[in-house]
A and B are shown apart, each in its own frame.
Chain A
Amino acid sequence: MGRYVARRLLQMIPVFIGSTLLIFCMMYALPGDPVKALWGEQSSDPAQIAALKHQLGLDQPLWQQYWHYLTGLFQGDFGTQIASQRPVSDVIAQAFPVTIRLTLFAFVFTVVVGILLGVVSGLRAEKALDRIVLIFTLLLISVPSFVLGYLFQYVFAFKLGWITPTVQDSTNWGQLLLPAIVLAALSLAYVTRLTRTSVAENLRADYIRTAVAKGLPRRRIVGVHLLRNSMIPVVTFLGTDIGSLMAGAVVTEGIFNVPGVGNAVFEALNRREGSTVVGIVTLIVIVYLLASLLVDLLYAVLDPRIRYA
């Protein structure tokens, strides 16, 4: 088990280097000059552009730039932003906690509500309640998140006046509630449907019949035997979902004005801030890797027949 984890962690190193190289090359290949664009549509000065590029090392060939970036990275230096001259690590340190808070909130919401709804409707498959849940989740899946965002804003901020339309303080959990729900809505629907199908199917499995025949209490049958075996597809989904929740919050962050990771990447891309994009995206890649490792380990917990050595 320990060796397995160590091997997986070691495998992350080449993936890490490969992904930074790939993103670095992509940023390099993008048309558009970040230094020239600083002058916008106004007059500019070729001598000053050249001087600035030289200072930033942007006049070097790609491999040299990448080498500098990588050596800097291993010394804990993520580089410096072109326009603001702020260290990229500052930008990351500011954006990530906000997004992690938001993601965690959304994730907990997804897990708790999604699994609960899934189990309830799975146990009552093909009954009225099940139908209602299915229609409700279908609605969540088909409504784009920005529609939901604006709808919530309108109802809760303007009609009911419970909250301010945007997040004023991103360290305040109460204010993050609404964006978290909007962010979680889609995953919630998927988790519910996955759980429901899985539960409904396993309910007809032999081992459940055996458990019932043995005279086990219903709570134990559902809580342990049924749920544990039904969780594998759900956990797989949740593992990848945590990554996409972190990276894919651009729209929700925009509507509720949350200064998170999605926003930071979007802006950096627009301004061609190469090192910022590479830094943030690489961190997201790592989050994905760790999440998938966690999922694999959880398989062993859920199904003792799966073993790693």
Chain B
Amino acid sequence: MRGAKTMQWSALAAAVALAATACGGGSGGGGGSAAGKPAGYVSIDVTEPQKPLIPGNTNETQGAYVINSLFTGLVEYDAAGKLRNANAESITTDDSKTWTVKLKKGWKFHNGEDVTAQSYVDAWNWFANIKNNQQNSFWFEDVKGYDDVHPAKGDPKSDKMSGLKVEDDHTFKIELTHPVSYFKYKLGYYTFTPLPKGFFKDPKKYGQEPVGNGPYTFEKWTHKKLIQVKAWKGYKGDNKAKNKGIQFKNYSSYEAAYQDVLSNTLDISPQVAPKDLPKRKSDFGDRAIDQPFAATQSIAPAFYSKTFKDVDPKVLQGLSMAIDRKTITKTVLNETRVPATGFMPPLVKGYQKVDTDIFKYDPKKAKELIKEGGGVPGNKVWIQYNADGGHKEWVSAVCQSIRKATGVECVGDSKPDFQTELDARDADQVKSFYRSGWTADYPLNVNFLKELYATNAQTNYGKFSDKEIDGLFKKGDNAKDLDATIKIYQEAERKLAQKMPAIPLWDYAANVVHSDSVGNVKVNFRGDVILSDVTAK
């Protein structure tokens, strides 16, 4: 009893203490500013980058937004996807194998250090080195000496690639192991950036507080909350910031971001959740932007599966013609996609109108083609997808379309999340089709063909293999100039329409909404908002 009595008092005391701290917190926190956005800044919903902010390590949209604002490489793509010089004065080659890069003079890093040829060469050697665990290291695989710093097994033999040579402060040479006529296009990827000297002493710190040479300087990164960058007065490039700075704010859902744009608490949301898609036009009018960009969605057959082993391409062509792309993009997908007209979207350089009707919805012909090709074994196909990516609706619609048009039974094969789905692809366990998405790394037809359909390509999960196509890819890479390469790859694409390594469904469109306190919101070929052009009112 006595014990109980003391307990009673201590419980009461604890309650009082809790209440007191609660009240104290209330009055203290109430006075602070809520949003805290400096005037002239633009805020955008970009969730926390997955990784430290190092150009060699970032490969996801969120991080790329920040990296692109802080770093500028040799070349860049404009809004239409055309290549132009940025930090480079000129990039020249005679044989597509040895490239000479001349830098513009007077460019500096945010800390005042000069951007020199050495800044580039050191950075690239560091990115490529297997010991530094950079996810974009394989981008340097064309460079001579890559195997020394990035062996398939074991420790690197050297920390320098022999193919990179500094000529003087503003000139360096890149020697490749084989001619790559579109190497300049690859250079536009944001991994090919320079780094200041301090980086190599303390990569960890620079990953948290990056120092670059881009249009914005780094201000602060409050994890899981926001990253803030400020327009840099000393910037020499063409894409100088038209606003005073940017806040990348972390949102846990696009629904929440949408509400905040609606109430003017946030300026831009680069994506709209399915729930809000139908009402975005009535909520925002012309401030809801839909713009196609360089990404496609396909369903790719696994050529090792029971369904598609030694399949006649005619069957796949038939299945392709059984999909009513127009209706599905209009209804199920709320016009956020554009029906495919080839293996790549129109704004990619090298896009052509393939002379074929495989993208047309024609149930009668679809049936005929499948019959001609010997039918689908078991008369049943599966489409594998990940349930966490909003794919279920369209997979069901595609299946229904196939079923209705051809009588072939079609079901979705749902995996709980993307990792599990990827595992099944990796382990060759796809039952017939898998969902295959691709966003351009660089807006050139090569990127949409070679990475997906070459026999030994990493992302060729369906194990498509064709000697003729491989031969054309190789020939294209070795062509004497870019135009010749594009032509040969176009030939390959026409051939692919006969061989059907995948059934392209539709191209992506970016759905952006923004408040009326910002203007000039545009989207680039990768579907990202061009932040340096946004104006704050």
Contact = CB atoms under 8 A, between A and B. Distances in A.
Interface of A: 1, 30-34, 36-48, 51-52, 55, 83-86, 90-91, 94-95, 101, 104-105, 108, 153, 157-158, 164-166, 168-169, 171-175, 253-259, 263-264, 267, 270-272, 297-298, 300-301, 304, 307
B138 A44 contact: yes
A301 B131 CA distance: 61
B419 A37 contact: yes
B411 interface: no
Given A51-B130, A84-B50, A39 B59 contact: yes
Q: Which 5 A-B pairs have the closest CB atoms?
A: A32-B419, A165-B259, A45-B138, A173-B26, A257-B256
Contacts of A300: 3-4, 7
Interface of B: 1, 3-4, 7-8, 11, 18-19, 22, 25-26, 29-30, 32-36, 48-52, 59-60, 130-131, 133-135, 137-138, 150-153, 204, 207, 223-225, 250-253, 255-257, 259-260, 262-263, 265, 388, 417-420, 422-423, 426, 436-439, 441, 451, 457-459
A164 B515 CA distance: 15
B296 to A, nearest CB: 11
Contacts of B51: 38, 83-85
Given A32-B420, A48-B133, A158 B262 contact: yes
A209 to B, nearest CB: 24
21 contacts: A32-B420, A33-B423, A39-B135, A43-B458, A44-B459, A45-B137, A46-B458, A48-B137, A51-B131, A52-B133, A84-B50, A85-B51, A85-B207, A91-B223, A101-B25, A157-B259, A165-B256, A165-B262, A171-B25, A173-B26, A304-B1
A37 B250 CA distance: 21
A152 B416 CA distance: 31
A144 to B, nearest CB: 15
B223 A263 contact: no
B22 A48 contact: no
Contacts of B134: 48
Contacts of B251: 166, 257
Identify the interface centre among A91, A157, A174, A257: most chain B CB within 10 Å of its CB. A257
A271 to B, nearest CB: 7
Contacts of B22: 104-105, 108, 173
Contacts of A173: 22, 25-26, 29-30
B223 A153 contact: no
A256 to B, nearest CB: 7
A166 B259 contact: yes
Given A55-B133, A85-B51, A254-B253, 10 more contacts: A39-B59, A42-B439, A85-B207, A90-B223, A108-B18, A157-B263, A158-B262, A164-B263, A171-B32, A257-B256
Contact of B417 (A1, A32, A105): A32
Contacts of A259: 224-225, 250, 252
